[in-house]
Structure 1
Amino acid sequence: MSFEDNVKMHFDELSENDKEIVRYLQQNMADAINSSIIELGEATLSSKSTVLRLAKKLGFRGFSDLKFQLEQDYKADKIIPTDLEQQLHHDIDKTFAYSHQINFQPLIEAIHDASNVYIYPTGFSQQNFAREFSNDLLIAGKKNYLLDGTTNFDRITRKLNQNDFVIVVSLSGNTPSIKNSIKMLNFRKVPFCSITEFSRNYLSEHANYQLFYEASVIPTAEPGDEMSSMTSLPIILGILSRKYREFVLFDE
């Protein structure tokens, strides 16, 4: 996960002083990767301990870990995709890199232990990818229900309990029409997992479990018009379904 992604995930936990240091790192990345923790503290008018606490708030093991990620991001920024194939490669690589940094086990166990699993995709493309994911879970022996339509999702959420589990597959994670349903899940203490693009969004902030994927913007035939590519969504769904199957076959 990139430095920017870590900042998005933990932004609400940062103090104003933390945010000032983050802005310095974003604007002076080349200098930061060549600075010691003491030098960085001096440059940001803060202390060594403040910088170290910030690194840990952002999910890094320490300052060296943070600086290594900054260096990787700095190198990546120098390699700008020159065509859509390279952009596709970048999206897939970033999603796989993210998947290597997270622990799937608690999510897998929650899916396995649930009495009923419900999968709700928020759009047409998400529906297509979610259908294959649903089939993968069935093949692995986990019965699940693929929901279609906001009305159906709203009705179902009013009947669920703590023994059920919901997976919401989205792009932005900010679909207005399902916010009341998400509030109902929280009210009824129904555990759920959000799967969205890398961003701070409503779904991930209210979910018990979160997964993310890279969704880059690509041009369309209409001048000035753009769309988000969800090519990496089936990647993260495929990783989750395979890890679930591994759990059932080898770890259960």
Structure 2
Amino acid sequence: MANLKRRVWEKSGELSESEKEIIRFLFSNHTLCSHLSLSKLAQKLYVSESSIFRLCKKIGLSGYSELRFELSDLSHEKKMNTIDIATEVENANQEVLKYYNTLDLEKIFSDIEGANTIYLYSTGWSQELIAKYLAHELFMIGKRAVILPSAIEELRIVSRRAVTGDMLFIISYSGDNIQIRDEISKIKLLNNKITMVSFTTLKPTQLVSLVDYSFFFRTLKFQKVFGGGEESANDTFSPAYTFIDLLIVNYCQWKMQKRGIDYVDYDEE
């Protein structure tokens, strides 16, 4: 969905002075306007309903309902921009810790220990960065991790190559990609030797029902300002990295305790 400000900027040369006045009012009162009906907004602006509807069409919207949705989204972005991002990150990390402490990880730790190869498949640029971070952390504890390109064919190759004990991590923003779900279903039928793990945002997904383990993370919204003063809401994935840190560190603790070795945190000495 295009940003409302970007839509207006792109069409600014085609707008009449009266239309620009309407736009200025909408941006100055976006929270109020997002709750007004078309007739109420027309009354407040002293214009006809058809004038507002034509403006919606001119800036590339389907109608007034989409305009209200865009204004509501703009209000949310402005609200998020006033929140102390450092406090938000701290709160999110506390949530990750609470969530992590509810998990029973004995079985997956055992699977990680026995895995010859751990494949990492991601569905986007930010998810690929998470995969690279996880691959690095696995390498540092002596595990072989293979990062797969974001192509369905790569999942098919894993199905053919994987041997007993191998693991496949699917890192996805939503986990709702139909192609990925279909391919995972095929892998389960053709190669039941591989252990599959999903890592997605805090949303119910059908992918969860197809994998052996499912973990969740949430993202944080923050404002990014581009050249020319244009703003856009973006996600930061810091809670995902925190979860990975907890998973790897506690895996090392588990492994040492299993061998009867006391774990030492040298940063605390």
TM bucket by the smaller chain? 0.5 to 0.7
Partner of 2:238: 231
Shift of 1:209: 0.6
Q: How many residues align?
A: 172
Q: Which has the larger radius of gyration?
A: 2
Ranked by relative contact order (alpha carbons within 8 Å, sequence separation 6 or more), the top structure is: 1
Q: Which residue of 2 aligns with 1:139?
A: 140
Give how far 1:173 is off.
1.4
CA distance in 2 between counterparts of 1:225 and 1:135 reads 31
Query: Within 1, Cα distance between the matches of 2:219 and 2:160?
Result: 31
Q: CA deviation at 1:220?
A: 4.2
Q: Specify every segment of 5 or more residues in structure 2 that has no aligned partner in the other structure, as ranges.
A: 1-81, 260-269
Among 178, 181, 201, the alignment partner of 1:179 is: 181
From 241, 245, 250, the equivalent of 1:243 is 250
Which amino acid in 2 is paired with 1:235?
T
How far residue 225 of structure 1 moved from its aligned partner, in angstroms, is 4.9
Residue 195 of structure 1 corresponds to 199
Counterpart of 1:107? 108
CA contact (8 A) 1:94 1:214 kept: no
Shift of 1:201: 0.9
Distance 2:186 2:195 in 1: 11
1:84 corresponds in structure 2 to 85
CA pair 122-230 structure 1, distance change in 2 beyond 3 A = same
Shift in Å, 1:215? 1.6
| Partner residue, 1:154 | 156
SS of the equivalent of 1:244 reads: helix
Flag structure 1 segments of 5+ consecutive residues without an equivalent: 1-80
SS in structure 1 opposite 2:96? helix
- Within 2, Cα distance between the matches of 1:170 and 1:135? 18
Query: Matches of 1:98 and 1:205 in 2, distance apart?
Result: 19
What pairs with 1:209-228 in structure 2 (closer than 5 Å)? 209-221=213-225, 225-228=232-235
Contact 1:158 / 1:184 at 8 angstroms: preserved in 2?
no
Query: Deviation at 1:162?
Result: 4.2
Identical aligned residues as a percent: 17
Tell me what 2:129 maps to. Answer: 128
- Post-superposition shift, 1:234? 0.7
Structure 2 residue corresponding to 1:168, chosen from 159, 170, 187: 170
| CA positional deviation for 1:183 | 1.3
CA distance in 2, matches of 1:248, 1:209: 19
For residues 76-102 of structure 1, the C-alpha deviation after alignment (integer angstroms, 9 at most, x for no partner) is xxxxx8332222222211111101111
- What's the RMSD between the two structures over aligned residues? 2.3
Partner secondary structure for residue 115 of structure 1: coil
8 Å contact 1:92–1:214 — kept in the other structure? no
How much has 1:224 moved relative to structure 2?
Answer: 8.4
Q: Is the 8 A contact 1:154 1:178 kept in 2?
A: no
